[in-house]
Amino acid sequence: MNPFYYARPGLTEALVRDLTGGNLFSDAANGLFLAAPRRTGKSTFLRNELEPALAHTGRVVVYVDLWSDRNRDPGALIAEAIGKELGKHLGIVAKTAKAAGVEHVGLGTWLKVDPAKIGKTDGLTLAEAVRALRETSGKAVALIIDEAQHALTSSQGESAMTALKSARDQLNTPDVANLLLIMSGSDRDKLLRLLNTNAAPFFGSAISMMPPLGEDFIHHIAEMISRTYPQLAPVDVAQLWEAFQRFAHRPQPFVRALGQILNPIHPPERGFERHVLDMADLQRADEERAMESAYLALRPIEQAVIWRMLEQGDRFRPYDADALTFYREKTGEKISAQKAQNAIEALRMQTPSLIWKSAKGEYALDDAGMKKWFKNRSDEGIWPPQSPESGAA
Ligand SMILES: Nc1ncnc2c1ncn2[C@@H]1O[C@H](COP(=O)(O)OP(=O)(O)OP(=O)(O)O)[C@@H](O)[C@H]1O
Ligand SMILES: [Mg+2]
């Protein structure tokens, strides 16, 4: 367990209230979509706090992280997670039926189900599986899908989302939400693709930003520091809070920096907060340098494609006339649609992948953090990055 772990019961309570109808003006019972940037604690929160809290309301909770295995189809991961939970309940039903000597009234038909075949041609559909889980457990179901935008990268994943939407519509009545859907994502723009067009599975729902850890987390850390190193009290919370923000609200590098500075071998001194700030700046500079060298390592056409995507955001169309003109301007060469397509494929196939592609053929930057980098550089008038050998012209 992480000794710096900071629980957020207030957030948990508010979300559970929204999900279970305690908030008249919340639409969460129709699906809760939460976005937060990378490494800010989404999965930890969903698993350690939201999942047990929902279980506490008498629901059976299924959690699946679509990034848990990038080599597996996201649709299969969803089916497997539901199947695993269903398997447990079928086991209980089977035992009860056996003890009673007859097939358990009403539930007996589910006993023939093979939970490993969910979503396959000879198995239950996803919607049927959710119904089976509802009936065999005797409880309403809550399904938490972490990194849900990843479902859109395969057609099986996309159909799983549509199936879940239809399961929700079939199972829920205005009075009872038998299926709660909670989806999180580390890229708001990609998550938005699940709900922003007429054809999107959850058209009409809205995304909420999941709040990052706040100043109260820093107070908690400051207290721990004062307790361990009384000579450092009072800790300058304002400076630590500033540092945490510069670490983009990511607990891991922040705590790591503290660990390096508050080191029992070299007794820490007053004013250590300043060093934490410096380390945040160093880390940011390192990350920017890494993005810069990744960008500079690309071929000119690949750079032009990334530039176009950064500039256009969700308006990006890879091969329209304006895009082709843009590529020509930036590379000084005539670029055909075929050539642009080859560049996009190369960017998508490289590891780590720079481009994300949905099953429908829409493209986005894989790393949402690049947008901020682009914006900062553009605002400072230092875009595009120049390779050192090209000189400071
Ligand atoms: N409430 C918390 N208090 C302290 N540390 C935390 C808290 N939540 C998360 N962390 C730490 O932050 C790091 C990132 O957490 P987590 O993996 O949950 O984030 P994430 O947003 O799901 O990341 P990713 O974008 O990689 O999926 C982990 O090292 C975790 O231990
Ligand atoms: Mg995560």
Q: What is the pLDDT of residue 283?
A: 96
Per-residue pLDDT of 246-275, as tens digits, reads 999 999 999 999 999 998 788 888 999 999
Pairwise pLDDT comparison (105 vs 100), residue with the higher score: 100
Q: What is the DSSP string of 338-362?
A: HHHHHHHHHHHHSSS-SEEE-TTS-
| Ligand 2: centre distance to CA 46 (Å) | 9
Q: What is the pLDDT of residue 101?
A: 66
* Percentage helix, strand, coil for the chain under 3-state DSSP, each rounded to 5: 55, 10, 35
Q: Which atom of ligand 1 is nearest to the CA of 251?
A: 12
| Least confidently predicted of 98-107, 234-243, 350-359 | 98-107
Q: What is the pLDDT of residue 268?
A: 86
pLDDT-based confidence at residue 102 (cuts at 50, 70, 90): low
pLDDT-based confidence at residue 383 (cuts at 50, 70, 90): very high
**Nearest-10 Cα torsion for 92, 97, 100, 105:** 110
- Which residues are bridge partners to 355 per DSSP? 365
Overall average pLDDT of the 126-144 stretch = 96
Per-residue pLDDT of 295-317, as tens digits, reads 999 999 999 999 999 999 989 99
Could you give the percent of the chain with pLDDT greater than 70?
97
Q: What is the pLDDT of residue 303?
A: 98
| Ligand 2: centre distance to CA 66 (Å) | 9
- Amino acid, single-letter form, for residue 324: L
Overall average pLDDT of the 98-121 stretch = 78
Q: How many Å apart are CA 26 and CA 28, to the nearest integer? A: 5
Q: What is the pLDDT of residue 252?
A: 97
Overall average pLDDT of the 347-374 stretch = 93
- Which residues are bridge partners to 60 per DSSP? 141
Provide Rg for the chain, Cα atoms: 25
Nearest of 181, 148, 151, 144 to residue 166 by alpha carbon = 181
In b/e form, how buried is each residue of 76-90, taking b as 16+ CB within 10 angstroms? bbbbbbbbebbbebb
Is 6's C-beta closer than 6 angstroms to any atom of ligand 1?
yes
Per-residue pLDDT of 1-52, as tens digits, reads 678 899 999 999 999 999 998 888 889 989 999 999 999 999 999 999 999 9
Q: What is the pLDDT of residue 393?
A: 43
Pairwise pLDDT comparison (186 vs 267), residue with the higher score: 186
Q: Which atom of ligand 1 is nearest to the CA of 44?
A: 18
Q: Which residue's CA is the closest to the ligand 1 atom numbered 25?
A: 38
| Ligand 1: centre distance to CA 45 (Å) | 8
pTM value is 0.93
- Residue ranges near ligand 2 (ion) with Cβ within 5 Å: 42-43
Pairwise pLDDT comparison (100 vs 257), residue with the higher score: 257
Q: 90 and 136 in contact (C-beta within 8 Å)?
A: yes
Is 68's C-beta closer than 6 angstroms to any atom of ligand 1?
no
Mean pLDDT for all residues in the chain: 93
pLDDT-based confidence at residue 390 (cuts at 50, 70, 90): low
| Phi and psi torsions of 8, nearest 5° | -125, 70
pLDDT-based confidence at residue 96 (cuts at 50, 70, 90): confident
